[in-house]
Amino acid sequence: VSIKIENAQYLAAKQGLGIVDAVLVALDKAGYNDSSAKKVMIQSTSSSVLKAMKGKKYELVYEVDETIRDADNATITDIKDFADSVVIDKVSVFPKSGGYLVT
């Protein structure tokens, strides 16, 4: 099961919806907290959402929502504190070139 949580801060502040708690309750009711449950991945661009889920048995995936070229060790260490894995966009790995080749 893969769940992507976006705009949690907006929903909490402007709409009064605690989306993180709602997801946790729904997963619990569906039986995804016992030892025989299937793998659950929770993905978000918000580190605070993933930090709120820390300690549960779900795999936490941090999505970098911008193009990156490199990451220093301090940044990687910070991400390891709240996520099990990271998703980056394709352009971060294979940058597009605006040039052309003439032979």
pLDDT at 4 over 90: yes
Domain-embedded: residue 80: yes
pLDDT at 93 over 80: no
Domain-embedded: residue 58: yes
Burial pattern 13-43, b for ≥16 Cβ within 10 A else e, equals eeeeeebbeebbeebeeeebeeeeeeebebb
Average pLDDT for the chain: 85
pLDDT at 36 over 80: no
Give, for 70, the enclosing helix (H) or strand (E): none
9 pLDDT band, cuts 50/70/90, is: confident
Domain-embedded: residue 73: yes
Q: Indicate the number of domains in the chain.
A: 1
Token look-up 């659950």 returns 40
Domain-embedded: residue 100: no
Domain of 51, in residue numbers: 2-93
Domain-embedded: residue 99: no
Domain-embedded: residue 103: no
- State the CB neighbour count (10 A cutoff) for residue 87: 13
Domain-embedded: residue 98: no
Q: What percent of the chain has pLDDT over 90?
A: 34
Domain-embedded: residue 102: no
pLDDT at 62 over 90: yes
pTM of the model: 0.77
Rounded average pLDDT over 46-74:
87
Which one-letter amino acid corresponds to residue 90?
K
